[in-house]
Every structure is written in structure tokens, then in C-alpha cells.
Amino acid sequence: MTSDEQDGENKRPDSSPPGLVTRHSPLVTIFFNAPLYAILDTAANPPFPAETAVEALLRAGVRVIQYRHKGPFRRAHFQECVTLARKIHEAGGVFVVNDRADVADLSGAAGVHLGQEDLPPEKARRFLGEDRLIGYSTHTLDQARLAAAAPVDYIAIGPVFPTQTKMNPDPVVGLALVSEVRSLTNKPLVAIGGITMENAPSVLAAGADAVAVIRDLLAGPDLEERARQFLAALKTGSRKP
């Protein structure tokens, strides 16, 4: 835990919903204990409602869950975020909304995940204030350097491997870039893109704090069991010191 995080325990304002993990919380510790960042992508067509998926993920021990919806953001999506935020935070988890700082704020999410074409992190920080988490996607060393200096709480890097899930993905960065980015920042590093139960341990060994996964979590018939197996596989792998 950094001194900033330790200080932060005292900085949490009284207005924070009980149990909400804020940016001053030890995200590194959360990832150390549960290094799987689950993304619920509405386009990945999970054969169950998002709420059911969240319950399964939480039972399995997943702590950080993102809602990703690339289509028009209707009221029903917003309501879904409100429900998921409550459920995840009551269980001590971290709920992150992809792309939309406004939805993250109004739904009571712990934070937002921004891409290179979303709101600039500085503007999102101004909008969300100091207590929400901001995650930021990067795809090159230069972007990661800028992210390291930006007001963001974790850096995502990818796609590490080829992915079927993202439309027009950036070029594959490989494990080498994960290691390079690790060496330039102490911020939590989340690797994404084509990560499977088989290759996930190598991603932590390259220096990531966590792996973000969409499709391979849906590979089996039982999401809870799949998430448990993922976490178990990640525990057995070695990590970069």
C-alpha cells in the first residue's frame, strides 16, 4: 500500500456510500487477492441477465466488475448499472462503468473506465471528483507514459493477444509491452485482450496486476465455476516481483 492510499483511508468523505471502494482504496491489494477483472459486455450475449452474472462472479471471488455497453445507452442500461452498483458494492466489490463518466456518477458506480477516444482523464476527474476511480486504456508505450502521469487510478494495456471481441482493435501489444509498462509505473496495471485461462498466468508473470476478460469467462457452461477456475489458475502462476 502506498502512503497515498494509507492517507486516503482518512480522506474518504462521509458522503461515500457505505462499502464503496474509492480511488484511495488499495486497488493493488484487491487485485493481488483477486487478479481477475471481469467485464460484462452486453454484446457478448451471455445467456443470463447481467445481475445473475454478477452474483455468480461475486460468489466466485471476483472483486472488480465492469459494465460495457457499446450501443445506445438507454434508461434500461442505466437502471441495470444502478442495480449492479448496489449489488457489487454491498458485497465489497468495485463496479466500473465503461466509457461513461455521467452514468458512472449517477448510477453510484465506484468509477469509470475511459478509452483514448473518451473524455480526457483530466476532464473526467474534474467531473467525478477525487473519490471515484478512473481507469484508462492504453495501447502503446507513449500512451502508457502519459497515463502514468494522468489523474487515473489504474492503467489498462492491450490488446495483449488477438481478440475477437473488440471492434477495430489496436495492434496486438504482446507480453513485452506489459513488462515495459510495468517498469514505468507503480499504478495498478490491467492487461486486456485475448486473455484466456491458459495464457493468463503469463500475463501476471509479465507484470500485470490483473487480467481483464470478456469472452473466455463465458467459455464454459457455468460462469461461477469458470471464474473460480480462472482465479485458481492465476494463483498458481508466478508474479513479477
Give the active site residues. Answer: 68, 137, 166
Residue 169 engages ligand TZP in binding (rule: CB under 6 A): yes
92-131: contacts with Mg ion (CB under 5 A): 99, 115, 118
Residue 188 engages ligand TZP in binding (rule: CB under 6 A): no
Residue 192 engages ligand TZP in binding (rule: CB under 6 A): yes
62-81: contacts with ligand TZP (CB under 6 A): none
CB of 36 to ligand TZP, least distance (A): 11
204-233: contacts with ligand TZP (CB under 6 A): 213-215
Geometric angle at alpha carbon 185, from 184 and 190, rounded to 5°: 115
Out of ligand TZP, Mg ion, none, what residue 58 binds, judged by CB under 5 to 8 A for its kind, is: none
CB of 39 to ligand TZP, least distance (A): 7
Out of ligand TZP, Mg ion, none, what residue 140 binds, judged by CB under 5 to 8 A for its kind, is: none
- Distance (Å, rounded) from C-alpha 92 to C-alpha 69? 23
Position among 165, 177, 182, 234 found at the interface with ligand TZP (CB under 6 A):
165
# chain residues binding ligand TZP, by CB under 6 A: 13
Position among 30, 53, 124, 195 found at the interface with ligand TZP (CB under 6 A):
195
Residue 35 engages ligand TZP in binding (rule: CB under 6 A): no
Cis omega before residue 159 (within 30°)?
yes
Residue 8 engages ligand TZP in binding (rule: CB under 6 A): no
115-122 long-range contacts, CB within 8 A, separation 24+:
116/143, 121/147, 121/150, 121/151, 121/152, 122/150, 122/151
Nearer to ligand TZP, 15 or 164 (CB): 164
Q: Which residues bind ligand TZP (CB under 6 A)?
A: 158-159, 163, 165-166, 169, 192-195, 213-215
Q: Which residues bind Mg ion (CB under 5 A)?
A: 99, 115, 118
